[in-house]
Homo-oligomer: A and B are copies of this chain.
């Protein structure tokens, strides 16, 4: 494909995306495809000879869109959102076009330095502790997901607790880690991956608001120490996936400090709220954290994947993850004057992800980002008020930010039926969880283009279907 052909086909793809966003509300939010349906429409064998770009692009609408669940629909209220925006998509396009692989500083200095710079910006934007700055002892890095970032935090914790001997000797079955019962499932997965073992993960009980009980944590740590085990890692959450619960960071942080345990804070969804001073109370105690992760690809208008991971002591991370074979040696690395991000993550290779984040921050500006976050929180609070005012429904958890957990009082089956009917209708998409062992519906307001009318319509449809189900 010559540059001029690329220009022509690229315009067509951009036009297709612009049209897609213009008509996105006409699609059912949750795909109606049946298992195997999309595959059945694809040819059994790859083409021997090349096809025209028009034919390829034409198949997007015909073969792919029926199998799309529209995460960018303003009526997508499921899971945690993964919002995107024009500047993010175009920043990402430039990253694809430049096609650099930023494993080393030398393999594209701008890829590394823009990333370091923008992540330092974010420390200020979210009012995170200064130790997370690259100009201090720490620094930030973009990873694909919070799962991967938390794995790196756990690995650094494992190494620090063993004086960096686990890398060499392997795990010994004596390391212990702590989360609450509400912590994201990725931590359980990370514990398994890192060889610590699920038997050595303590799930600390939560209070009536689904937040970790620090007293229970302290007791468990003491018991493990008495048993000759080595507590090495605590993960607290700002905004759990089930209910947006906020663990008490200050008390947990003090316990970690007293016990010399790595303290990791998972703010994957709700970190973005700290852009607004009035929501920073959710982050009280973050100054105790050894590491912190939040996902601009959830609620900060940056398309998947973009997870920002900060550490207070970059040396611990680098000592844990560094390898330097001969074929990667170069003068810049040897000088010690540069960051090589391959040592801050699991993979060696890496995309130029900072571009899309830089574009988003510059396009919206800090005030623009704050405006949208405030609006999402306001819409969720409004929705929560409607739930409270309808005596068929009840809130199932506090609503600190933009996630509303609620249920019909008719019981689990009614809630499941209600959700299935709503999702099948295509008018909106929401998902469920269990809180206190009861089926609970979740409505998360965070898609870039969600406005009052979308949330109003969602509530109207929920009320309509509730009448039918009950």
Residues of B within 8 A of A346 (CB): 147-148, 151, 189, 193, 346
Query: When chains A and B are docked, how far (Å) is the Cα of A194 from the Cα of B17?
Result: 41
In whole angstroms, what is the CA distance A47 to B358 when docked?
Answer: 11
Known contacts: A48-B366, A348-B185. The answer to whether A194 contacts B197 by CB under 8 A is no
The listed residue (B53, B147, B158, B168) touching A348 by CB distance below 8 A is B147
Q: A228 within 8 Å of B by Cβ?
A: no
CB pair A304 B351 closer than 8 Å? yes
Residue of B nearest to A154 (CB): B193
Chain A contributes a number of interface residues (CB within 8 A of B) equal to 154
- Tell me the minimal C-beta distance from A51 to chain B in angstroms: 5
Complex Cα–Cα for A42 and B22 (A): 35
What 1/0 flags go to A100-122 for Cβ under 8 Å of B? 11000111111101101100010
Asked if A167 is at the interface of the complex by the 8 Å CB criterion, the answer is yes
Q: Which residues of B contact A35 (CB under 8 A)?
A: 105, 109, 332, 335, 337-338
A100 contacts across to B, CB distance below 8 A: 68-71, 82, 304
Taken together, the copies of this chain in the complex come to 2
A56 in the interface, Cβ–Cβ < 8 Å?
yes
Q: Which residues of B contact A63 (CB under 8 A)?
A: 110
Chain B residues near A198 (CB-CB < 8 A): 167-168
State in angstroms the CA–CA spacing of A367 and B4 once bound together.
23
* A252 lies within 8 A of chain B by Cβ: no
Q: Is the CB of A92 within 8 A of B101?
A: no
A90 touching B13 in the complex, CB below 8 Å, given contacts A107-B71, A304-B101: yes
In the bound complex, CA of A162 to CA of B329 (Å):
37
Q: Flag whether A85 is at the interface (Cβ < 8 A).
A: yes
Residue-wise, chain A 9-25 has the 8 Å CB interface mask toward B (1 for contact) of 11101111111111000
- Tell me if A365 counts as interface (CB < 8 A to partner B): yes
CA distance A226 to B145 in the complex (A): 42
Q: How far is the CA of A148 from the CA of B189 in the complex (A)?
A: 15
- Interface readout for A63-76 with B: 1 if CB under 8 Å, 0 if not? 11111111110000
**Interface residue? A359 (CB, 8 A):** yes
Q: Contacts A50-B364, A69-B107, A79-B327 known; A170 to B195 CB distance under 8 Å? A: yes
Contact of A169 among B49, B106, B197 (CB under 8 A): B197
* A375 at the binding interface (Cβ < 8 Å): no
Q: Are B99 and A361 in contact (CB under 8 A)?
A: no
A45 touches B87 (CB 8 A): no
Do B167 and A108 touch (CB < 8 A)? Answer: no
Complex: chain B residue closest to A116, CB-CB:
B39
Chain B residues contacting A305 (CB-CB under 8 Å) are 347, 349-351
Whose C-beta in chain B lies nearest to the C-beta of A40?
B113
Tell me the nearest residue of chain B to A295, going by C-beta: B349
The answer to whether A349 touches B304 (Cβ under 8 A) is yes
Interface stretch of the complex, out of A259-267, A378-386, A431-439, A456-464: A431-439
Distance in angstroms between the alpha carbons of A297 and B350 in the assembled complex: 11
Known: A33-B109, A69-B107, A193-B346. A325 touches B362 (CB 8 A): no
A residues 136-185 with Cβ under 8 Å of B?
144-145, 147-148, 151, 155, 158, 166-173, 175, 184-185
The reply to whether the CB of A200 lies closer than 8 angstroms to some CB of chain B is: yes
Q: Are A199 and B31 in contact (CB under 8 A)?
A: no
Asked if B144 and A166 sit within 8 Å, CB to CB, the answer is: no
Q: A45-B124, A50-B364 are in contact. List 8 more A-B contacts (CB 8 A).
A: A10-B14, A13-B14, A31-B110, A35-B335, A64-B355, A83-B99, A99-B304, A305-B350
A-B pairs, 8 with minimum CB distance: A195-B195, A170-B197, A67-B110, A1-B86, A10-B14, A17-B97, A171-B195, A84-B99
Q: List 19 A-B contacts (CB under 8 A).
A: A3-B21, A10-B93, A13-B14, A31-B108, A38-B109, A50-B362, A50-B368, A53-B87, A60-B94, A82-B99, A82-B101, A89-B99, A167-B192, A170-B199, A194-B195, A242-B326, A304-B350, A305-B349, A346-B346
